[in-house]
Chains A and B, each alone.
Chain A
C-alpha cells in the first residue's frame, strides 16, 4: 500500500506509532497489570523507585505511582479522543457551513471563530470546568469548546476551494440536495487535512486535560497524570519520582501523537512534504 509505505519512510512517525500503541496497550491492560484500585495503598509511603517491588515508587499516601500512570493513561486517551471527536463535529459543521454558503453566513461564522481564537482559551476552559463542576464530561466539553476553531478554519478553506470544482457543480446541476453534496462530495475530499489536524488536536487535548487536573480540576473519581503531578508537587524536594514519571508519560504520549501527525501529513499530502505539519 502506497500510503503505509510513505508513512513508514518517516522514522519518527513509526516510533511515534509504536509508542502510541504501547500507551494504548498500557491503558487497556491496566486492570490486569495492576489489579485493585490505583487509589489504594500498595506499600509504605515515600518508597523510592525500585524498592519493595514498586517499579516507580509510591506516593505520599503509599499509592503505587506505576499503577497511577497506567490508569491515568485511560483517562488521558479517553479525554483526548472524545474531546477531539466532539470538537471535530463542531469545527467541521461550522467550517462547512461557512465555506459552502459563503457571504454573510461565512462572515458571521468567521467572526464567531475569531472571537473564540482571541479569548484566552485555557482560562475559559478552567472557568467552564469550575462552574459546571469537574467531571469527565465537563472536562471533555470544555476542551471541545476551546479547540474547534482551527478545524473550522481548515474546513472552511478546503470547502471554499472545493465548492467551485466541476464535480460539485455537476452534482448541483443534477439537483442533489446541498446537505448531500456537502457530506458525500466535498467532505471526503477535505478529509486528509482533517485527519492530520485530529492527531495534533488529540495531543493538545491530552496536554489540556493534564493541565486542568494539575490545577485540581480533574474528575475526582478518576486517576490522571496531571493529578499525579499536582499531588507530588508539594513534596518534590523529598520525592522527585512522584512528579517526574507521570510527566514523562505525558511527554511520550503527546510527542508520539505529534510525530504520527507529521507522518500522516506527509503520507496524505505527498506534494506538501516540505511544509510543516502545524496548522
Chain B
C-alpha cells in the first residue's frame, strides 16, 4: 500500500474516532441530566449541605439555569480541554485522579492482553494441529469453562489457591505497603503483585483467542494455497508459521480490537478483587461513594482508551494485510 492512501485511511479513521469520542461525551451529558434529581442536588449532597440558597448558587455556578444546548456546548468545551469536573468527595479534579490511576490499569490490561494473545494463539495453533487428539479436546473444554466463569470468581479462587493455601503470591495491591523499595527490587515486587490479577483477566481472553485461532487455522489449513505450499515441498513448520498462522491471525486482530472495551470493563472487576490501584478500583470507590462525576470520568477515559486501541488495531491490520480495503 502506498503512503498517501495509508495516510488517507488514517485520517478517516481519526475523524471517525473523534466523532465517537464526542458521541460519548454527549452520552455522558445526557446521563447526567437523565439522573433523578438535577446535578445540583447530587453535588450538594456530596458536599454535605443542601439549603436552597446554596443550591441556587450551585445551579448558577455550573450554568444549570441555561438552556440545555448551551449547557451541552459548555460541557463539550470543558471535556475537550480535559476538564472532567471536580470530585467533591476527594477534593481533586477528576482528570488528575484518572491520570494518577491510568498507568496501573494500562500495565494490568497490557500484561493480560499479551498473556491472552501469546497463550491463546499458541494453544489454538496447537489444538488445530492435533484435531481429535486429547490435547485438542482439552483446550476446547478449558476454553468453554473459562467462557462460563465470572471473572471476579476466577480471581477469588486464584487468591484462595495461591495466596491463602500455598502462600506463593501476594493477593492485594500493587506493591508491599511500607517497604521502601526502589529500582529493580520495586519492579520485582510489582511483578509479583501483577501475576494473579493479570492471569485472572488474561485467562478468559486466552480461552477466547484459543478457540478463535483454532477455528481460523482449520479454515486456512483447508485452503488451496496451503496444499500448493506443501506440494512445493515447503517444510511443514514453515507452512504453519508463514502461510497458515499469518492468515489465521487476521480475525484474531479484528477480534482483539472489538474486545478492547470488554478487557477494560473486566479490569474493573479484577482491580476490585485485587485492590489494584487503577481506574477500575477508582470506579469501585466512586460507586461506593456515589461519586458520579468520577464514574462519568471513568466511562469517558476508558472509552478513549478503547478508541485509541481500535485505531491501533486498524492500523496494524492495514499493515499486516496489504489486501485490506482501505476505503472501509
List A residues at the B interface (Cβ < 8 Å): 115, 117-124, 126-128, 130-133, 203, 207, 210-211, 214-217, 226, 229, 233, 236-237, 240, 243-244, 247, 250-251, 254-255, 258-259, 275-276, 278
Contact = CB atoms under 8 A, between A and B. Distances in A.
Contacts of B150: 207, 210-211, 214, 226, 229, 247, 250-251, 254
Given A240-B160, A251-B149, A216 B288 contact: yes
User: Which of A119, A124, A226, A278 has most chain B Cβ within 10 Å?
Assistant: A119
Given A121-B265, A126-B287, A255-B148, A243 B20 contact: no
Q: Give me the 6 closest cross-chain CB pairs, A-B, nearest first.
A: A122-B265, A255-B148, A247-B153, A120-B261, A254-B148, A131-B35
Contacts, number: 133
A276 B296 contact: no
A243 to B, nearest CB: 5
A243 B149 CA distance: 13
Contacts of B27: 119
A127 B299 contact: yes
Q: Is the interface of B mostly helix, strand, loop or mixed?
A: helix
Interface of B: 20, 23-24, 27, 31, 34-36, 144-145, 147-153, 156-157, 159-160, 164, 211, 215, 258, 261-262, 264-266, 268-269, 272-273, 283-284, 287-288, 290, 292, 295-296, 298-299, 302-303, 306-307, 310
A215 B272 contact: yes
Given A123-B298, A127-B299, 11 more contacts: A118-B306, A120-B261, A121-B262, A122-B261, A123-B265, A214-B150, A247-B150, A247-B156, A254-B147, A254-B149, A255-B145
B160 to A, nearest CB: 6
Contact of B164 (A132, A203, A237, A250): A237
A229 B266 contact: no
Nearest to A238: B164
A118 B299 CA distance: 12
Nearest to A275: B215
A244 B157 contact: yes
B148 A203 contact: yes
Contacts of B307: 118
B148 A258 contact: yes
Nearest to A243: B156
Contacts of A259: 144
Nearest to A133: B36
Contacts of B258: 117
Contacts of A237: 164
B299 A258 contact: no
Contact of B156 (A119, A236, A276): A236
B302 to A, nearest CB: 5
B31 A131 contact: yes
A119 B24 contact: yes
24 contacts: A119-B261, A120-B302, A123-B264, A123-B302, A123-B303, A126-B295, A127-B295, A130-B292, A131-B31, A131-B35, A131-B292, A207-B148, A215-B268, A216-B288, A217-B287, A229-B156, A233-B273, A236-B160, A243-B153, A247-B156, A247-B157, A250-B149, A251-B148, A255-B147
A130 B287 contact: yes
A226 B159 CA distance: 17
Given A207-B150, A229-B153, A244-B157, A127 B296 contact: yes
Contact of B152 (A118, A119, A130, A214): A214
B65 to A, nearest CB: 22
A73 B103 CA distance: 38
A211 B269 contact: yes
Contacts of A210: 150
B162 to A, nearest CB: 12
A248 to B, nearest CB: 9
Contact of B303 (A119, A217, A229, A258): A119
A136 B269 CA distance: 20
